[in-house]
Structure 1
């Protein structure tokens, strides 16, 4: 059962026996995760999955350091995975889980911890953000989470797989300061109240934070000193692009003019050369004709 096995082995004992066995080989630790999520509403089914190496032949699941269940693996494609099912989530099944796997006679290192949380246990808190849900980049914002019934801990969570919850201690209201914000802070946020780390309230209504990426008019001078305005950069880039294109066109025209001048010069030189040759040819012809005339009429003079 889940957390009901009182006489079973503990995880430290398992590691100790493995050390005493003086095994030289150390198996890599498995990966553990929960489906559909690590936050599960009360009464909802959840599955805990543990993935080891392809040669794994047995898996063990530990709840709060005590052996809770054993499974043979299933081959899901190329993955060797064991699945542990909780039919209905309760405060008794919420807590920290780890898993190990066995290959031949050797047990692996334990996985990283999986903190499984049950939600919808208490009243619903209210979440607000100041100065407002739409702020310029670089500004500080603060989320306020309030729960009418006194609690001990509040959690703020941004929707997304890689997000990890932030926590603050308080009775009825806490602040979650954030900033200077960037576009990476954009997203939808919810908060929860809790009496322990694994039993949370109903989620608050979502609050969507929009970071515009531009500074307000009141911070214009500071913005110029800190970060150039995007519109100025765009305008400058467009001007530089136009100047670059104009320069390229000018260079192309100059090349065409130079080529045309060179072509004209070559043609002129060819023409001049041809004219000189023609003159020399005519001069030789006339001289030859005169020589012939004088040779055939010696008494002309």
Structure 2
């Protein structure tokens, strides 16, 4: 079927104001498929979905009844052998009763191994300290129009640059998040790529936060030492003041005792003298 996707397909009817959420679309084993390899496109809607439609470049490509895989309601569309004619952008929709969902996000399906193998290098080298800048160079012997750089990983998105035989992919300042294995591809369009380059593993050493923390720790150590010295000096001063106060009290008490003893002696002598006079 090659009928164009009608605009009203995505809209709820007047009697059904509800709008279904868009389905999820993905490819197995990956969105990059070597030429001649089988690939499956999966579309997941709500548990009540009764029909799915797959659209390729805006045109109806296939429709399926769903399969219940556990709690997931999924339709599977198979491409027996990947070619440049099956590479491109796919979307899917599902139906619940008479209501069609919104379209899924686009799935860009790429066929690889279409051209020569490029070479990939990284400068200043595959191992750099955190915070430095690096540049990947992708080169292809036969002229092309676009280059793609891809970091291995499920959530990775390819970067692209336009060029003839070589392009640069500057990157940085790098962090440990940039660690990983990279490959590049050459292409004449967004969906037909060359063989992948040999992998280049980028190792980023160190942690920029630890570099920033080092002077902070030094300042903190210096401040802590000064505070400790000031605290000790204060304690010594307090101890000296306590000793002086105690000494003053001791002298005062001794003086009072001495004065008291002298007064008693004077009174004793006065009484004795009076008795002698009588």
TM-score interval, normalised by the smaller of the two chains? 0.7 to 0.9
Q: Distance in 2 between matches of 1:274 and 1:29?
A: 107
Could you report, residue by residue, the CA deviation over 1:241-292 in whole angstroms, capped at 9, with x for unpaired residues? 999999999999999999999999999999999999999999999999xxxx
Aligned length: 272
CA distance in 2, matches of 1:185, 1:33: 25
Label 1:49 to 1:225 Cα distance change in 2 as closer, same or farther (>3 A): closer
Secondary structure of the residue that 1:275 maps to in structure 2?
Answer: helix
Name the Cα RMSD after superposition.
6.6
Moved more, 273-282 or 236-245: 273-282
Give the one of 243, 255, 260 matched to 2:247. Answer: 260
| Secondary structure at 1:43 match in 2 | coil
Instruction: Quote the offset at 1:169 in angstroms.
Output: 0.1
2:68 and 2:272 mapped to 1: Cα distance? 106
TM-superposed deviation, 1:132: 0.2
Are the counterparts in 1 of residues 148 and 158 from structure 2 also a CA contact under 8 Å? yes
**Structure 1 265/70 Cα, relative in aligned 2: closer, same or farther at 3 Å?**
farther
1:223–1:229 Cα contact (<8 Å) kept: no
User: TM-score scaled to structure 2, two decimals?
Assistant: 0.74
Are the structure 2 counterparts of residues 131 and 18 from structure 1 closer, same or farther at C-alpha, using a change threshold of 3 Å? same
Q: What is residue 83 of structure 2 aligned with on the other side?
A: 90
Over residues 164-209 of structure 1, what are the superposed CA-to-partner deviations in whole Å (9 max), with x where a residue is unaligned?
A: 0000000000000000000000000000000000000000000000
Q: Confirm or deny: 8 A CA contact 1:194 1:200 kept in the other structure.
A: yes
Query: Which stretches of structure 1, 4 residues or more, deviate above 6 A after TM superposition?
Result: 222-227, 229-288
Structure 1 229/154 Cα, relative in aligned 2: closer, same or farther at 3 Å? farther
Residue pair 2:112, 2:195 contacting (<8 A) in 1 also? yes
Q: For residues 101 and 282 of structure 1, what CA distance do their matches in structure 2 show?
A: 126
- The reply to whether residue 138 of structure 1 matches residue 138 of structure 2 is no
- For residue 23 of structure 1, report the CA deviation from its aligned partner: 3.7
Q: Which runs of 5+ in 2 are unaligned?
A: none
Q: Alignment partner for residue 201 of structure 2, among 208, 224, 227?
A: 208
Unaligned runs of 5+ in 1: 1-8, 214-221, 289-299
